[in-house]
Amino acid sequence: MDHTTSAAASPVGPSPVVLRGSETGEGLGDTFYAQVGGHETFQRLVDEFYRGVAADPVLKPMYPEEDLGPAAERLRMFLEQFWGGPSTYSEKRGHPRLRMRHVPYKVNPDARDRWLAHMRHAIDTLELPPLQDETLWGYLERAAHALVNTFDD
C-alpha cells in the first residue's frame, strides 16, 4: 500500500478529526453540537445569558421586554446551527448576516464587554470540558469584537 498518497486523492477525502473523552476513549461525537450535549446545553447557555442581559442597564434597552423570548430563541437557533445542530435558524430567518442585523443597535466596546461578561458567566455554568469551553468562548469573543459598530458612548 502506498502511504504517500494524499488525502485529497481519496474519493472520500480526509477522515474527520474526532475529539475523544480520554486518550483511549470513544469519540465525543461528530459535531461540536453533539459533543457539548446538543439542544439542552445550548438552551441552558442562552437562558443563563439572557438572565444577565435582563438585569443589565446597558444591554437591556436593546431587548424590549416582549422581545427577550424571541431574541433568546434566535440566539439559541443560531448557535445550534453554527455548531452543527439543526438548520432551523436559516430555515426561519435566512442567512445570519450578523453585522447587518446588529446595525440598528449601538454596539460599542462597553456593550461588547458587558455582552461578553454575561456570556462568560453563562458558559461557566455549563462546566464544559476545557477544549469545548475554549472553542465556544473563542468563537463568541471573536464574534463580539467583530460586531462593534461604534466607539461612541
The verdict on residue 103 lying in a domain is yes
The verdict on residue 121 lying in a domain is yes
Split into its structural domains, the chain has a count of 1
The verdict on residue 151 lying in a domain is no
Provide the residue range defining the domain that includes 64.
33-146
Residues 16-40 have a mean pLDDT of: 72
The verdict on residue 108 lying in a domain is yes
Check pLDDT > 50 for residue 11.
Answer: no
Of the two residues 64 and 145, the one the predictor is more confident about is 145
What is the CATH number for 97?
1.10.490.10
The verdict on residue 2 lying in a domain is no
The verdict on residue 100 lying in a domain is yes
Phi/psi of residue 90, each to 5°? -65, -35
Q: State residue 64's pLDDT score.
A: 73
Q: In the chain, pLDDT over 70 holds for what percent of residues?
A: 74
Q: How confident is the model at residue 5 (pLDDT cuts 50, 70, 90)?
A: very low
The verdict on residue 7 lying in a domain is no
- pLDDT tens for residues 74-102? 999 999 999 999 998 888 877 766 666 66
Give the residue ranges of DSSP H helices in 4-149. 32-35, 38-54, 68-82, 88-93, 98-102, 109-126, 130-146
CB neighbour class for 71 (10 Å; exposed up to 12, middle 13-18, buried from 19)? middle
